[in-house]
Chain A
Amino acid sequence: MLYLQVLINGLVLGGLYACIAAGFSLVWGVLNVINILHGTFIVIGSYAAYFAYVYFGIHPLFSIPIAALILFFIGYALQSGFINKVVAAPVLTTLTLTFGLDLFLNNLLIVAFKADYRKVTLENPLGVLSLSGITVPVDRLAAMGLALLLTGLLFWVLDASRVGRAIVAVRMDREAAALMGVKVRKIYALTFAIGAVMAGAAGSLISLIYPISPLNSGMFLGKAFIICVLGGLGSVSGAMVGGLALGVLESFGALAFGPEHAVTLSFIILILFLLFRPTGIMGKRGYE
């Protein structure tokens, strides 16, 4: 029974992880840029949810559009203003640039909101779902459902919408897409903005579970990276599988070794996957 409970907890966490990683994976896959800012984007989303709840009483599940809107603009501006200028440069250049932007933005958050940990404390929690000894808070369950829904929505956008197909086309072959009349720079900016939106949405949902602080951004970034490697880079389904896998692994890892070794455990898994199965659990690449 304990194992089942741990499994459920892991899956609930994993749904949120999938949402965290989907945007990161999209940006990495399409732009070939590791977005160090992703963790800070998530924190901004959490703050949006926090203040929406504290000042306007909006439940974090419903403040997703607010967070998404804010991050869309931040993402679009950063990409078209800075990152587009070096998008074809070597890894070190793009990585250092997003690192610099992250240092700035994260420090801005610390100055604006202090490094104190805040928490969304719901006045009327939705209660707890109990089924033959297994308990899950309904709020968390709803957050997980919504996270998976959003990830599914991203999948649909990429799969069926015109913009989504343009993004996929740019990913497959930048030059060919440009010849077909796709405005590559605009698509880059849009892709980055969508990645930021996913981060913001994930941040809103995460505010229900994690305490909120700018200091958490590194942790989220690390998780996003591990999920991408676990699930396979550059596909939404990979992010989904990787996220759920990491959630379950972390839950059982905490049970077996204690929660203080979570980072070490994920790192070992990361290295093993990178060495022996670099294409991830799904074993395929891309949005094809």
Chain B
Amino acid sequence: MKRGFWILAVVIVLFLPWVGNNYFIRLATIMMLYCVLALSWNFIGGLTGYPSFATAAFFGLGAYAGGVAQGQGIRMYIAWIIGAALAALFATGLGLAILRLRGHYFAIASLVVADVLREIVNSTTNLTGGGMGLNLPILKLGVDAQAKLFYYCMFAIALLTLFTAAYVMRRPLGFGLGCIKQNEDAANIIGINATIYKTIAFGLSAVFVGGAGAFYASWVSYIEPGDVFDILFSIKPIVMVLLGKTGTLSGPILGAIVFLVLEELVWRNFLTFHAGVLGLIVVFLILYLPDGMLAIQYRRWFAWRKS
């Protein structure tokens, strides 16, 4: 039954672009992007229990790597792979340094990374265009065809992320990460090499985000540092995963979808107060729904109604 549900979901997603206009396809693409971000953060934040705020850094790095690569005449798909690879490499190096930190120290160290990268991008004007931003070559395709192409590509990236997450969670790696989450010292004692496990988790949380960043650059065909290194790219995935349920497979996906719906229905209407409403939702979520929607005991509601 569970498998049937997943297959149904995939079929629906495959045919989504044929039922709506381009605005709808765009929304669906953003939904896939959010799924990638949420599932990726779940590797380090949900499974390993390290509060990473580095998603924006990986996203921006991927976007700029892909953007610069495409500017040099490299093909779009290769540029995405370059973005993903560079983000993963960067995360591995960074992880070796900051994953030794725990708790608050790790959180803030990861938070600052996006600022640093933004500053570097801003100051290397020759390569990245600095604060002027970077224009990417535009595809020679019709608008409709382009929208569908990007949608399916994003869907493929999301699917890849999902399969990787499912694979990791069933393997010793996932088990080890769970041990680290519960008690890192104990995990070390039973023979889990916590440093390597954590670094792999951090790299996994970067690779697809980097790819998605490079994708985003091609998709919108203009990027600038303030846009792709936006701190909201770090916050949103966390909110999505918390909204669903941390450490699960369906939690981040559910969270991403609900988040997008909320975004479209609620705070799209607050043009100048967008971030403020997001903040309110975060506060509400933390205070009243700390374990996410999947943790709600829906059956209890119905039982109460019957009696």
Contact = CB atoms under 8 A, between A and B. Distances in A.
Interface string B102-128: 011101110011011001101100000
A85 B287 contact: yes
A111 interface: yes
A41 B133 CA distance: 32
A274 B283 contact: no
A225 B108 contact: yes
Interface stretch (A93-101, A140-148, A197-205): A93-101
B83 interface: no
A107 B275 contact: yes
B280 interface: yes
Contacts, number: 110
B20 interface: no
Interface in B75-118: 97-98, 100-101, 103-105, 107-109, 112-113, 115-116
B31 interface: no
Interface string B245-280: 000000000000000000000000000111110111
Nearest to B117: A264
B282 interface: yes
Contact of B51 (A86, A91, A218, A267): A91
A97 B283 CA distance: 6
Nearest to A278: B105
Interface in A56-110: 82, 85-86, 89-93, 95-97, 99-108, 110
A128 to B, nearest CB: 32
A260 B119 contact: yes
A280 B97 CA distance: 17
A274 B105 contact: yes
A8 B157 CA distance: 54
A274 B101 contact: yes
A275 interface: yes
A99 B108 contact: no
B290 interface: yes
B275 A103 contact: yes
A85 B128 CA distance: 45
Contact of A271 (B98, B119, B286): B98
Contacts of B238: 92, 96
A99 B120 contact: no
A102 B279 contact: yes
B174 interface: no
B114 to A, nearest CB: 10
A183 interface: no
A92 B276 contact: no
B279 A222 contact: no
A237 to B, nearest CB: 20
A93 B290 contact: yes
A150 interface: no
A105 B275 CA distance: 10
A96 B123 contact: no
A86 B280 CA distance: 16
A261 interface: yes
A190 interface: no
Contacts of A96: 235, 238-239, 242, 282, 286
A107 B278 CA distance: 10
A107 B115 contact: no
A28 B104 contact: yes
Given A34-B108, A218-B115, A93 B103 contact: no
A83 B278 CA distance: 18
Nearest to A226: B112
Nearest to A95: B107
A114 B133 CA distance: 24
A255 interface: no
A103 B103 CA distance: 22
Contacts of B286: 86, 93, 96-97, 100
Given A82-B283, A92-B45, A263 B116 contact: yes
Contacts of A136: none
A91 B112 contact: no
B109 A107 contact: no
Interface in A247-278: 260-261, 263-264, 267, 270-271, 274-275, 278
Interface string A108-135: 1011000000000000000000000000
A106 B275 contact: yes
A238 to B, nearest CB: 15
18 contacts: A82-B283, A89-B290, A91-B104, A92-B51, A95-B104, A95-B107, A96-B239, A97-B287, A102-B279, A103-B278, A108-B276, A218-B231, A225-B108, A260-B123, A263-B112, A264-B119, A267-B112, A274-B98
Given A34-B108, A271-B98, 7 more contacts: A32-B104, A34-B104, A82-B287, A85-B287, A100-B285, A101-B279, A103-B279
Closest 7 CB pairs of A and B: A100-B282, A103-B279, A107-B276, A104-B279, A92-B51, A100-B283, A100-B279
Interface of B: 45, 49, 51, 97-98, 100-101, 103-105, 107-109, 112-113, 115-116, 119-120, 122-123, 231, 235, 238-239, 242, 272-276, 278-283, 285-287, 290
